[in-house]
Structure formats: C-alpha cells, structure tokens
Amino acid sequence: MATVSKGTTSTITPQDFQTYNRLAEQMSFFHSILRRNWQLVLSGCAPNSKMRPAELVRHANQFCQHLSAHHDIEESRWFPILGRRMPGFRPDGFAKAQHAEMHQGLDMMQAYVQGVHRGEHPLRREELRRIMDSFGDLLWSHMDEEVVELGAENMSRFWSKDEVARLPF
C-alpha cells in the first residue's frame, strides 16, 4: 500500500510541483505504453477478434518482455534509491511485493505464448484471456499506486526539491 497521506493541504508552488512530480510523469508515460499494449493483447483474445494468431502471440510475448524489463529497471535502479526514504519502495514494500505477485501471472502468460510459438500447443484465446485476468486487476492498480506514490505531494514528504532534481532517473 502506498504511503501517501490523504487529506493534506498542498503547500507546493506550481513550479515546485513540476519538479516534485517529474517521476510520476515519467512513470505515467511508461505505464501508458504498457496499458496500451495490454489492451491490444486483450482485444486479440476476444472470440470475434480479427487478429491473426501469430500476431496475437507476438504482441503478447512483447508485452511480457516489456513488463519484465520495466520491472527489472525499477527494481535495480529506481527502488534502491527511492527506498532509502520511501517505505513503499523498500525490499519489503508494496512495490516489490506486488511485482512478485504479478510475475506469477506474467510468467504463466509468457510460458503459454512461448509454448504456442514453439508449436507445443495451439493458441486458445480464452486461455490467454484467463491468464491475463489472473493478474490484470493487480497490474492496473499497481501502476496507479506507483504514480500516486511518485506524485508531487508524496515526494515532497520524503525529498527536498534539490534532491528530487538530482535523482539519476
């Protein structure tokens, strides 16, 4: 769970807001790409989808690779630095725990589409959809929660404006 406090009155100037909100905007950008690709794969799972099986498998595999790479970057570069002050990004915080939970479904999804690609079994759109449904709600709420956690109000609780400006990402 994010550590942002609810109901606080903002004392951040508009200029400072831009500085403090920088990471939330970056994360929101990356998440928008993941959301768009998720929706593309999900639409390909529909029974009446016109997406060719090979195309769906390619998009699904790319989604898995992109989300895994995104999490690898967060866990190796962002979380160690942010976690120095922000409990949600520590090894025992919400972000890493949610990643681990998500990867149960993501790993299943990747194994499934790779099996289809290798010809081990045919593509069953409803099966791919079932796998995606197993972690989709968590993925979407996690992306929202990370952006809130990195938002200006919360960042200003843990970091000075100069410190945020110097963060290496």
Inside any domain, residue 95: yes
pLDDT band at 11 (very low <50, low <70, confident <90, very high): confident
- Percentage of residues in the chain having pLDDT higher than 90: 93
Indicate if the pLDDT at residue 3 is higher than 90: no
Residue 106, domain member (yes or no): yes
Work out the average pLDDT over 122-133: 99
Residue 10: per-residue pLDDT: 60
Buried b (16+ CB within 10 A) or exposed e, 86-125: bbbbbeebbbbebbeebbebbebbbebbeebeeeeeebeb
Domain membership of residue 1 (yes or no) is no
* Number of domains, the chain: 1
Q: From CA 142, how far away is CA 98, in angstroms rounded?
A: 7
Residue 69 lies in a domain: yes
Q: Is 116 domain-assigned?
A: yes
Q: Which residue has the tokens 């508009």?
A: 14
Residue 38 has pLDDT above 60, yes or no: yes
Domain residues for the domain of 26 are: 14-166
Residue 3 in any domain: the answer is: no
In a domain, 125, yes or no: yes
Q: pTM for this structure?
A: 0.90
Residue 21 located in a structural domain = yes
